[in-house]
Structure 1
């Protein structure tokens, strides 16, 4: 097993790691969970920890010299290492803890491949950094973003670092939004993979600096490779924005949402 992992390219490592984490998450679903308090109402569970250990097992076997920044284990290796993996083993912990299956497992190599796994559909959304695909039952299909659903996923969780200039919740009251789109709140970055796959027209969150966040790195990489428009909520490149995230299936949808956001600022 370890020898076969060692022979994989980076995209395969990301996909294998995300799948390993997803299997750990799926295996513990519905069981009694131990909660680990993080303060301010946030928490992890033993499922988060087990999934991260499974992911790290794959990365360590395949790339033992690489650095890793994990949501639960923190930084392992130099933070400025050229080869740095970002790992969010269970995005949507609150969903999972109450029996909601809307969660994601995120694995991304800085400036490289990434994968987002859905533990319950069995889908793995992955990219080599240039093209983006979804793997179902061992078969890969190219991702094709589209705004046809007119569904926009909005993250409503605090904190709100862009307030009072902008809060994602304010977008829902914009007359133009109501005319054109319908809101959804998935409460997990699985929604980013859904934008890349055409299941959502856009995703909006007003969080802080997200470019190298363990929560968002994989989804951002996936969406870019799929051809989505990715900026901060101020329209600046994510690397320089420091203000949230606006990901849209196409330029028209991105422009409409950006004008609504700016109209409330």
Structure 2
């Protein structure tokens, strides 16, 4: 948790330095580059944040493997523990000054998340969980509360969160699914950070999250936090990649069965590959 919080403090301090408090047009200058598509940005602060995490883990956990969104990792590492790192989840929000982006760090053993932390950078709050130990939220004043999903039992009254990919074909398919789902639920939110969406399921701020094509760093910590708060969670097989477009789902237990049935009927369970 401390490692993620240290990186979050770096991100928080660097944003006004790089982009100004109101300041520069989002995406301008040498501080931003594109990755998979022109709408998929990476900033200098993403790479700095990941380096902060890598340096600290090298000190605290020498010999452990690290898989990061920006720096990659060794897929064939023999290390028992692998850390899954997203230095800024919600980079577009970060660029535009929308206060919904996070630092996500998880520890996995044999591909299973056993500990994780997601720091909401702007809110200065930390979601955390250990496998079998429950999930907590530490707010900006240091107050700690235990997390539990909402007791909602009616899908038609459920607030869902989702996100969209960066490729046009995947976005078109995701948009078609939204059109089918929206009349059958309370509403849908697109916040812009899958890690925060999953934590919001845990905190009862939304009732479910679903999204196709996420990478392990998007869900490794948040899925554990949601699970430990009582959510039913589905994550992709380790044999797949984000390009395959499998869906991640986290739902409050009272609507999980009904939501599964709805998703099966509409076709949410089907992968949406990149194309």
TM-score between the two structures when normalised by the length of structure 1 = 0.81
2:163 to 148, 155, 180: 155
User: Structure 2 matches for 1:137-148, cutoff 5 A?
Assistant: 137-146=141-150, 148=152
| Deviation (angstroms), 1:184 | 0.4
Q: 1:159 to 1:231 in 2, by over 3 A?
A: farther
Residue 179 (structure 2) pairs with residue 173 (structure 1): yes
For residues 206 and 13 of structure 2, the distance between their equivalents in structure 1, rounded to whole angstroms, comes to 28
Residue in 2 aligned with 1:84?
Answer: 82
2:249 to 246, 249, 254: 246
Q: Is residue 154–residue 169 contact of structure 1 (8 Å, CA) maintained in 2?
A: no
How many aligned residue pairs are there? 240
Residue 251 (structure 2) pairs with residue 229 (structure 1): no
1:98 to 87, 93, 96: 96
Query: Structure 1: 5+ residue runs without aligned partners?
Result: 1-14
Residue 181 (structure 2) pairs with residue 192 (structure 1): no
Q: Is residue 238–residue 245 contact of structure 1 (8 Å, CA) maintained in 2?
A: no
- Which range moves more in the overlay, 64-73 or 136-145? 136-145
| Deviation (angstroms), 1:182 | 0.5
RMSD: 2.6
TM-score between the two structures when normalised by the length of structure 2 = 0.78
Residue 123 (structure 2) pairs with residue 118 (structure 1): no
Q: Is residue 171–residue 261 contact of structure 1 (8 Å, CA) maintained in 2?
A: no
For residues 185 and 76 of structure 1, the distance between their equivalents in structure 2, rounded to whole angstroms, comes to 32
Q: 1:157 to 1:163 in 2, by over 3 A?
A: closer
For residues 147 and 205 of structure 1, the distance between their equivalents in structure 2, rounded to whole angstroms, comes to 22
Q: 1:79 to 1:101 in 2, by over 3 A?
A: farther
| Deviation (angstroms), 1:58 | 2.4
Residue 208 (structure 2) pairs with residue 202 (structure 1): yes
SS of the aligned residue for 1:75 comes to coil
Query: Structure 2: 5+ residue runs without aligned partners?
Result: 20-30, 268-275
